Each structure stands twice: as C-alpha cells, then as structure tokens.
Amino acid sequence: MEYHTPGVYIREVDSGPKPISSVATSIPGFLGLFPFNPEHDAVAITGFDGRRRIRGKVIPQLVDTKGSVKGNAEEATTALTQAFRLKRSQVRDVKKYMELHGAPKSGKGAPSFGSGSKGRVKISMGSASVEVAEVIMSVEGKVVTENDQLVDDLLNQLHDNFQLSAPQPKTAGDVLETYGFEFKGAEGTALRSEYSIPPVAVTNKGEFFRWLQSFFAQFLLETAPIEELVGQSFDDPDDAADAVYEALSKDEALKQQFRQFLSQPTVFSFVASVNGFYDNGGGKCYVYMMGTQNLECSIRENQADKLGLYAFDDADDMALMAAPGTTDSQQKEMLEYCETRKDRFAILDGPIVSSGDMKIPASEKGYGAMYVPWFRVTKPSWFVGEQDIKVSGPNRRKLIKTSKNEMFVPPSGHVAGIMARVDTERGVHKAPANELVMGITGLTQTINRIEQAQYNDRGINVIREFKDRGIRVWGARTLATKSDPSWKYINVRRLFIMIEQSIMIGSQWAVFEPNDHTLWKKLTRDVRAYLMRVWRSGALFGQTPEEAFYVKCDSETNPRYLIDAGQVNVQIGICPVKPAEFVIFSIGQWDGGALIEEV
C-alpha cells in the first residue's frame, strides 16, 4: 500500500492461524434399487459403420419403429443427431449430405463428383460447381479429413454455392448415412430406462418416512396419469405432486400400493437398513433409490447422468457408503468406488449365512469392511406378503429361521449407525466393535469363538451373541487385512480419511499464495495446531506430540525444481492408535518374592 496524503491509516494484518476443522466422519449414503419397467415412449435406433455400433433414442412422434420419419423432418434430423451425439463436423458423405438437404438423388439435376484441377475434386449440381482439395474429400464424395474446421468450411461452401434446403430425411437411415453409418434397425423402448432422483439428506426416522412417501408420490406422478391417481388434473406440476402426496395418506388403494412398493425385497432391505441406522444412534444420512429393469445391473456405469453410485458425487460431507439389498458384484463395485474416491468408507453386507472360506472382494488400501451374518428384526406394520429368502447348499442348515413376526435384514445399516454412535461418544479413532446392536431380535447364524478365527484372519467382521451381554459387533478389520496389513483396522483407515480430508479442505486458502518460507511456516503452523487437537482427543499414539506426529515443510521438502513446477510439499507423519484386538493376561504361580518368569 502506498501513502501520499498525510493522515492516519488502518491496515488489517492477517497474522493468526487459520484453524483446520475436522470433517464429518459418520454421514452415510444409502443406495437402494427397485424394479422399474417403463412403458415404450421412445424409438431406439441402431447404426453401424463397420467398426462401432451406435444407439440413440427419439420420440415416436418423429420416427416410427420402421425407421421412417413421421413428423417434422427438420426436427427429426435435430433429434437424431442429438440422440447419437453427432456434430456437424462429423459428416462423412458429401453426396448423402446434399441429398439430405434437398438435392435430387438421380437425374440431370443430381450432384456429381469428379476430378477437378490438380489435387482437387469437383462437385457439380445444375449449372453450379465448386472444387475441394483431395485432402478434404475423395472423388467418391467421401470426407477423408479429420480436421473439424475443414469439414465445417466445406459444408459452408456447399450451402453458399448450391440451392440446398433444410434437412428433409425420409428415414433415419438418410441421416445416419450422412455421418458414415448404416441403419440397422429400430425398436420400441423407453426414453428413461432408469428412474432416479438426486439423493436427499434426512436426519430421523420420521423425516425418512416422509421422504419415502414423497419419492413414491413423484414416481406415481411420472409413471401414471394424474387423473387416475387423484381424479382431477393440475396445471402446476408442484400442485399435482402435492395432491398425490396427500392422497397417499387418505386413499386406501394408494396406501396399499405404497405398502406393496415398500415390501419389495430390495426396497425392504433398503428401508429396514436406514431404520436400523437410526436405531443405533445415526443422525444425518443421504438416501437415494434407483429404479431399473435389471436389479443385478451395474451401479456405477453412468457417471454423466449421475446414476447409481455416481448420484452421490456431489455429497461432499459423506464419509460412509452402504447399499443394502444389492448383489455381491454390486457390493464389489461400491468398494471399488470408495477405493477410487479415497474419501469414504464402504460397509458391505456378507451373505445371510456363510462359512469362513466364503468369497470376498479384494481391497487394496482398506476402504471397506464386510459384516456377517444378517439380523432378524420385528416385521413392520406396513409390510405385506411374505419374505422369500432361500439358502441353498450346505449352509442352509445354518440358517436360524424367523418366527411369524420376524424378518431378515442385512447388517450394513445398523453397523453404520454404530459407527455414528461411536464417533459421537468416543471419536473416529475408536474401533466400532464390542458395541451392542440395537433394534434387532436376533441373528441369522450363530458363529462361535472357534469358527470366528477363520473369518477374522481374512478381514471379515463377525457379529456374535453373548450370554447376558447381548448381540455385539465382534470385529474391527477391513478387507485389506491380507493385501496390506498396515490398513487392516477400520478405525485407522477412517482416521486417515478424516485427517486427509480435513487438511485438504482447511488448506484451500494456500492455493496461489507466494511459494516461499512464509507460506511454509503458515502451513506447518496450521497443520501442527490441528494434529495437536487430534492427539489430545486420544486418536494418536504417543505420550508427547513429538511421538505422535510430525509436520515438515521447508527447503528440504520443497527444492527449487518443485517450486518452479508450482508445487508446495508438506510432509506429515502420524502414529494412529490401534485397537486392543487381543487382550492377553499372563498368569502363573507366584511365591511372593519375585515376578513371574518363563523358564
């Protein structure tokens, strides 16, 4: 700041630390699936260029199932190019392009192609003609360049020199052939093959059930005529949604339809798991359901449309992930999703009954844990029908059958609630084990102390029933127990997620600051202050801060070549506390005069 006029000036000086706050560690995202069979409201058209097959959908008002254009030809062309994501610069057949835009296909006025002056191709139509370089177009009228600008210039040249109209296709093939594709067929399908609404945050059971009603009301509104649902029509979509929502609590037919929706196997597992989360001390969570024709489909295949696991991409405060009621392969996808993101922890459901040598997904760095067996819970009042769960093979004899008023539920939701409870009462550094499971009536399988050894060695967490002590989580290992034992404990991995994300978010102010000693000292000061608080909470091992962690950011960690590359490197080491998994007492006879010694 420069001073030219005499007087008194006030200047604020940023001299204090910028505190780093710990991120949330116990907010889960719950993903559920339900069967969705959309009506045919679109035509799916397929094309092939000899190497790859493309598929796009348009409304039947523009193109029918034979591929014929029915409605406005120009609108149909636009819809087809958008459906196939075709750009103007991707035109590959100039003759077909000209025919698409009104040029005769045969006869005296049809466009012709031949050799022009040296190195050029001549296009003639009627009395007009243009010449194009051979590096852009062949004498057969095929575009041979990959340069988008040259193709655009060529098409502009055609419109400037010839009498071309707006697109007038007779069939979808007329458009596809312009871009080098052959029409392969058309069939009735749905524009929306999946049903999805972005995740919503809920904080208690009541709010969750209201969300379920709201979700189902919106689903009914989008899949059935409003007149059939409530007996009248609405101009405002919000008024229509409100009317269906209110009808769900009054109309007996809609009530029964809602109960049947909730009683579907995958939906029931989802709903019961979220309720189990709240039964065990959970708070905020994100809930999301996706309708699909195939309940065993991939849940991470469409990131562009934010479907499946990718629906949670914008939920930055999520730290846990659960997908109750999904298949083994879908659980594996959830684990890999968390391993890739590195900011959330997957809670996986094992089989309803199992043996110690069961198949488990691989984990490289321990971003997930698996729990067995399932739980038995009291049947909800809204459930209709019977739960159909079959166990085949030798394990079927291990299943503890339910009573008339009981049902089977996967464990991930209840475990997520336990993690939230432990995080609140003790902190993320406390292993979520030796904790009572609430809201259940029993287990689907009894695993004793001897049997658990094989599970534990492989990183599978067992939930056991203890006489007079209730049903407790009796394992604290991740699925990286075999692949990387340094990440075998759940609390260690979750502690690192918390510290890494907290430092990353709390240090954003440093981006684009001058990369010098002042910045290094500020970063060291802020990170040390944060880790000091973490150590004092009991999350780090060591009697002094020097034993528990170190932070290094100086000329040694930031040599000149890294500074020139725009990088500032802070080296951090922490010593996490690990659970006392095996408590061992050495007991021997004592003669009253010396300590016990082994000989």
pLDDT confidence band for 594 (50 / 70 / 90): low
Give the whole-angstrom CA distance, residue 248 versus residue 250.
6
Residue-wise pLDDT tens digits, 60-83 = 888 988 899 988 899 999 999 999
Q: What is the mean pLDDT of residues 234-249?
A: 86
Residue-wise pLDDT tens digits, 157-172 = 999 998 889 999 999 9
* Bridge partner list, 21: none
| Omega prior to 198 cis, within 30 of 0 | no
pLDDT confidence band for 346 (50 / 70 / 90): very high
DSSP 237: H
Q: What is the mean pLDDT of residues 530-542?
A: 95
Instruction: Supply the pLDDT for residue 598.
Output: 55
pLDDT confidence band for 1 (50 / 70 / 90): low
pLDDT at 138 over 80: yes
pLDDT at 380 over 90: yes
pLDDT at 599 over 60: no
Which of these, 377, 201, 371, lies nearest to 282 by C-alpha position?
A: 201
Instruction: Supply the pLDDT for residue 238.
Output: 84
434: left (phi over 0), alpha (psi -120 to 50) or beta: left
pLDDT at 141 over 70: yes
pLDDT at 266 over 70: yes
Give the whole-angstrom CA distance, residue 170 versus residue 344.
52
Terminal alpha carbon distance of the chain: 79
Give the whole-angstrom CA distance, residue 412 versus residue 580.
23
Cα 508 to chain center, whole Å?
Answer: 25
CB atoms closer than 10 angstroms to residue 543: 7
| 274, containing H or E segment | helix 265-279
pLDDT confidence band for 193 (50 / 70 / 90): confident
Q: What is the mean pLDDT of residues 131-155?
A: 91
pLDDT confidence band for 597 (50 / 70 / 90): low
Instruction: Supply the pLDDT for residue 324.
Output: 96
Output b/e per residue, 490-504; b: 16+ Cβ within 10 A: bbbbbbbbbbebbbe
Instruction: Supply the pLDDT for residue 584.
Output: 81
pLDDT at 106 over 90: no
pLDDT at 537 over 70: yes
pLDDT confidence band for 596 (50 / 70 / 90): low
Within 13 Å, how many C-alpha atoms sit on residue 11's CB side?
7
Output b/e per residue, 197-233; b: 16+ Cβ within 10 A: bebeebeeeeebbebbebbbbbbbbeeeebeebbeee
Alpha helices in 438-567 (DSSP H): 449-458, 490-506, 517-536, 545-548, 560-564
Which of 120-129, 233-242, 273-282, 559-568 bottoms out in mean pLDDT, i.e. has the lowest? 233-242
DSSP 538: T
DSSP 170: S
Q: What is the mean pLDDT of residues 462-490?
A: 95
- CA separation, residue 199 to residues 136, 191, 284, 525 (Å): 49, 22, 12, 38
Q: Are 460 and 473 in contact (CB under 8 A)?
A: no
User: Which pairing describes strands 285-292 and 28-35: parallel, antiparallel, or unpaired?
Assistant: parallel
Give the whole-angstrom CA distance, residue 514 versus residue 520.
10
Share of the chain above pLDDT 90, in %: 69
Instruction: Supply the pLDDT for residue 223.
Output: 83
Residue-wise pLDDT tens digits, 279-323 = 999 999 999 999 999 999 999 977 888 999 999 999 999 999 999
Strand ordering across the sheet containing 375-378: 406-409, 375-378, 442-443
pLDDT confidence band for 546 (50 / 70 / 90): very high
Average pLDDT in the chain: 91
| Torsion angle in degrees (nearest 10) through CA of 401, 402, 408, 413 | -110
pLDDT at 259 over 90: yes
